[in-house]
Structure 1
Amino acid sequence: MGLVIALDISMGKSYKVTYDDQTCLSEGEIIHNKEGFKALLRNVLERAFLLARGRKNAFQKIIFLLHSKAL
């Protein structure tokens, strides 16, 4: 199945779990403030970088998509 980042979104705070196939890589609470969302973005970018390492074109596409969206 590959890498999955699942979010359980609620009022005021949310929860994130990251899986690689059946292995839980990380889990934790996301606080709904600037620092919490920055931490979530950093985690997603780190996972994307690890996936794209050695696949330069894929990583460049990810960066382009992130910069083309208003965050």
Structure 2
Amino acid sequence: MPFDYQLVEQDIVGSKAWATAICEAGVISEAELTDLKAALDELLSEVRSGQKKSLMIPMKIFIVGLNET
């Protein structure tokens, strides 16, 4: 198992907590928080089901989309 996948669940939990914190600080909106948490939950589900893919691609898509708004 690649190293990224050994810590992915903890990383996703941390990412959701960080997203909540930056929402509370006014950096992202509640709608963006909801979208981000849904994407992270989907990624976690895929990881748990054994689907292996790059973990960076979904986050890059989200970040680029966030910057376009």
Structure holding more strand per residue:
1
Please state which structure has a larger fraction of its residues in helix: 2
TM norm. shorter chain > 0.5: no
What's the TM-score, normalizing by structure 2? 0.40
Q: Return the structure number with greater relative CO, CA threshold 8 A, min gap 6.
A: 2
